[in-house]
Amino acid sequence: MVSPSNRSRRLGLVLETWNRKLHYYLGLYFLLFLWLFSFTGLLLNHPRWALSRIPNEPNPPYERTIDPPIGDSDLVRAEDVMRQLGLTGEVECPPQRPGRFDFNIAIPRRAVQVRVDLAQRRATVQEIERSVWSALRISHTFSGSRYNNPTSSRDWLLTSLWVFAMDALAIGLLVMVLGSYYMWYRLKPRRTFGWIVLFAGFITCGLFVFVLGWR
C-alpha cells in the first residue's frame, strides 16, 4: 500500500516533470514570436534608426472602372469594391459624402486609399508601400482595433489570426512565468537570491507603473 507521503512525493515529481516539459515546449514554440516582439520593440523605442522609418511616399494613383458597390453596410460595399480591385486588408470607412464612397485599407506592408465616384463608376486607388522592416514595426501594434472607433470590428481573417496568436503568446508567457516561479521555489538553496531578484523586479515594474500611470 502506498503511503500518503510517497503519493505526495510522486505527485510532486509528476507535476515538476510536466512543468518542465511545458516550459521547454512553450519556449520553443514562442521563440520566434519573442524575437519578433523584441526586435520590433527596439524599432519602436528608437524611431531615428534607419530601419525604424516608415515611408509615407505614395505610389502614383491609378483608376479602375467598377460595378456599383452593393451591400447593406459600408463594410459590405467596401468588400465588394475590394473584390473587384483585387485588394485585401482591414477596412476603415469614414463618413461618406453624397455621390462618393471612400474607404481606407490597412495591412502592415501597405496602406491603400480607395476613392469611388459612384456616378462615373470609377475607383481611384492610391497605395503606400512599406519596407519589410516597417511592416515588422507596424505589426507590433497592428490589431485591427481603432481607438477612435470602439464599435468597429476586425474584418480581415489574417488580422484575427494574428490577434489570436498574440493572445496565445501572452497566455503562454504567463504560464511560463508561473512555471518558472515553481521551479525556482523547488531550488531551496537558492531561494534567498531568488527572493531578492523577485522583489527587485516588482519594485522596478511598480515604479514604472506609478510614474507612467498616476503621475
What is the three-class DSSP state of 64? strand
Name which residue leads in pLDDT, 134 or 55: 134
Set of cell numbers at residue 147: 481607438
Spatial CA neighbour of 108 closest among 48, 162, 45, 71: 162
Spatial CA neighbour of 170 closest among 201, 143, 198, 132: 143
Q: What is the DSSP letter of 119?
A: T
* Alpha-carbon gap, residue 108 to 90, rounded angstroms: 10
Query: What is the pLDDT confidence band of residue 2, given thresholds at 50, 70 and 90?
Result: low
pLDDT tens string 79-123: 999 999 999 988 988 888 899 999 999 888 889 999 999 999 999
Name which residue leads in pLDDT, 157 or 102: 102
pLDDT tens string 57-71: 778 999 999 999 998
**pLDDT at position 120:** 93
Is residue 39 pLDDT above 60, yes or no?
A: yes
- 202, 45 Cβ separation under 8 angstroms: no
Name which residue leads in pLDDT, 146 or 138: 138
pLDDT tens string 4-38: 666 767 777 778 888 888 888 888 898 888 888 88
What is the three-class DSSP state of 131? coil
Name which residue leads in pLDDT, 149 or 205: 205
Mean pLDDT of 196-202: 88
What is the three-class DSSP state of 63? strand
Q: Percent of the chain, pLDDT > 70?
A: 87
